[in-house]
C-alpha cells in the first residue's frame, strides 16, 4: 500500500492503494464515483474512459501510481455546475438505451474536443469508433456529436 494524491473533478483527494490498482477501482470503490463503468477490463470497450489532464484514457488500464499529481475528470465533473453541452446534446437526442457505455462515450468525445477545437468527421470517427455500445446507439451518438459541433463558437 502507498499514498497517492491527485485532483478529481477539481478537488484534491488522497487515497491509500496498491500501486497497480487501476484508477477505475480507486474512483468507484474508494471515492464512490460510480459514473465511470467497468465493461471489458482489457482496453477494448471504452466504458471506463476518463480524462487525465484533459486527455481521454482508459481507467481500467491506468494504475493509480500513474495518477499521482495529475488532474482527473470523470463524468461527474464534466459539467461542473450545470450540464456540459455534450451532456445536453445526449439528453436532447435521447442517446442512451441501457446507458452503460454512455459516460465513456461522452468522455471520449470530451477528450477529443479538449485537444482539437473543431474536429473533422474523420477525427471524430477515429476516436469514437474505439468506444463500443452493445445497444447500438451509434446513430444517436452521431446526431448528438453533430449538434455539439454545429454549436461550437466560431
Ligand atoms: S473497461 Fe476499460 S476499456 Fe473496457
Ligand atoms: S446504451 Fe447500452 S451499451 Fe450503450
Say if CB 77 and CB 54 are below 8 A apart: no
Domain coordinates in residue numbering, the chain: 2-77, 85-150
Q: Is the CB of 77 under 6 A from ligand 1?
A: no
Residue 132 Cβ inside 6 Å of ligand 2? The answer reads no
Residue 133 has pLDDT above 90, yes or no: yes
The CATH class given to the 2-77 domain equals alpha beta
Phi, psi of 107, rounded to the nearest 5 degrees: -70, -35
What is the band of 80 on the pLDDT scale with cuts at 50, 70, 90? Answer: confident
DSSP code string of 55-86: EEEEGGG-BGGGGTT-EEE-HHHHSTTS--HH
Tell me yes or no: is domain 85-150 CATH 1.10.1200.10: no
One fold for 2-77 and 85-150: no
d(CA 37, CA 104): 8
**H or E segment to which residue 8 belongs:** strand 2-8
Pocket lining: 102 vs ligand 2, CB cutoff 6 Å: yes
Please give the radius of gyration of the chain, using alpha carbons only, rounded to the nearest integer: 15
Residues 26-43 pLDDT 10s: 999 999 999 999 999 999
Q: Which three cell numbers stand for residue 25?
A: 477501482
Pocket test for ligand 2, best of 133, 139, 141, 144 (most atoms within 8 A of CB): 133
According to the model, what pLDDT value does residue 97 have?
98
Closest to 11 (Cα-Cα) out of 27, 25, 22, 24: 27
| Average pLDDT rounded to a whole number, residues 139-151 | 97
Amino acid at each position: 500500500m502507498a499514498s497517492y494524491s491527485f485532483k478529481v473533478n477539481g478537488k484534491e483527494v488522497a487515497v491509500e492503494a496498491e500501486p497497480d490498482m487501476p484508477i477505475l477501482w480507486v474512483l468507484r470503490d474508494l471515492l464512490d464515483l460510480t459514473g465511470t463503468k467497468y465493461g471489458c477490463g482489457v482496453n477494448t470497450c471504452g466504458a471506463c474512459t476518463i480524462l487525465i489532464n484533459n486527455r481521454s484514457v482508459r481507467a481500467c488500464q491506468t494504475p493509480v501510481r500513474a495518477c499521482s499529481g495529475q488532474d482527473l475528470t470523470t463524468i461527474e465533473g464534466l459539467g461542473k455546475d450545470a450540464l456540459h453541452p455534450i451532456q445536453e446534446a445526449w439528453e436532447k437526442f435521447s442517446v442512451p438505451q441501457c446507458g452503460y457505455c454512455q459516460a465513456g462515450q461522452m468522455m471520449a468525445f470530451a477528450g477529443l474536443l479538449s485537444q482539437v477545437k473543431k474536429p473533422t468527421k474523420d477525427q471524430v470517427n477515429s476516436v469514437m469508433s474505439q468506444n463500443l455500445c452493445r445497444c447500438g446507439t451509434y446513430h444517436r451518438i452521431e446526431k448528438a456529436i453533430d449538434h455539439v459541433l454545429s454549436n461550437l463558437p466560431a
